Structure 1
């Protein structure tokens, strides 16, 4: 796929996804698109040099940003997952036929995004937040990890024995938490979370969406998410 941004009047073949490989929100969006079988023109960026077309579409300047063929913009990672899965009719993954599981999945994602993620950021960048020690920030994050450990003691995945939107939306953030201090993580009292995370990190889907690409600004090229 070649860059088509210079031809503003040309119809888009696929939605355009602006993404940053290591961002857990962008990972989440790419996973949802990949699992749905939804092709996009993937444009890799670096956060220090954000492309003007991306900022024009979403002035807040965060990834992911999905520009649909009709020009509509979806710039929240969970919304991108839900859009792709619903568009491609992936109801089992969304658990739409089991309201109780769907509610549990959404509650876990909310706890991740609004409870766990702020502590994760302070744990990862503790030098920027000297109010508490890195260990204190980690302990706050562990409350969510302990919740996941308890759920994984009941099921193979977070809300049932089958992976759901909750698993794919959350594990990129647990990956980031584990990477802050991998030596501690390997000895931490969360064996079920470790096994669950490792299984997802070894999955076909994760390895597919983590392929490295040159940045769009440097190469002028977009890349297929599905054609590896």
Structure 2
């Protein structure tokens, strides 16, 4: 049976899972979730109740992958036509920093009212410090060719940039700005941002990537 990917279009974690599944050309059935009205089937599958969540169907009892980076690795381990997994070890360190300190600072900048004891300006400064480091590493891509790090980090840089886009555009990080602009203008990004209606029990499966896309 085809694996099922529960997703939410605007979630950066779900974005990077879709990017990897698309890059791997590994078919799944996409189920778009409304986070304020989560279907029972999704809650039964996801221990965390968060997207993305991949439900695998094979000869073994059903299993789930509930972390976005693990879904990316699952897809690209099956098929990696662009060699995205071939990157320096430092790429995994960058992803870990993105998922840890950068995301911590991003949340406390974007959702400052949720963290009344935190200083959003200091957290914005912490986030931009990571992007200064990233800026020193990249040209068109984080390394000399596209990698899983591009796919894993770009959705979160996008989220940070659009907190205050004029401020972001004024920062001295030209390589990151060009890299993000190329990502946002790419057909690959446009395809994973296709709008699908919310999934309901009994709906016809939504193939992803769409048939004939590659």
TM-score (ref. length: structure 2): 0.92
**CA apart distance, 1:178:** 0.3
Q: Does the CA-based 8 Å contact 2:110-2:163 persist in structure 1? A: yes
TM-score (ref. length: structure 1): 0.86
The 5 Å alignment of 1:17-166 reads: 17-70=5-58, 71-90=62-81, 92-95=83-86, 101-152=87-138, 155-158=139-142, 160-166=143-149
**CA apart distance, 1:217:** 2.6
Question: 2-side partners of 1:175 and 1:110: how far apart?
Answer: 17
Aligned residues: 208
Question: 1-side partners of 2:161 and 2:67: how far apart?
Answer: 24
From 174, 178, 187, give the equivalent of 2:161: 178
Cα RMSD, aligned residues only: 1.6
Match of 1:196 in 2: 179
Which shows bigger deviation, 183-192 or 206-215?
Answer: 183-192
Which runs of 5 or more structure 1 residues have no equivalent in the other structure?
1-11, 96-100
> Equivalent residue of 1:79, what SS?
helix
Normalized per residue, which structure has more helix?
A: 1
Q: Does the CA-based 8 Å contact 1:85-1:91 persist in structure 2? A: no
Q: Does the CA-based 8 Å contact 1:122-1:134 persist in structure 2? A: yes
Match of 2:207 in 1: 224
> Equivalent residue of 1:200, what SS?
helix
**CA apart distance, 1:131:** 2.3
**CA apart distance, 1:135:** 2.0
Q: Which runs of 4+ in 1 moved over 6 A?
A: none
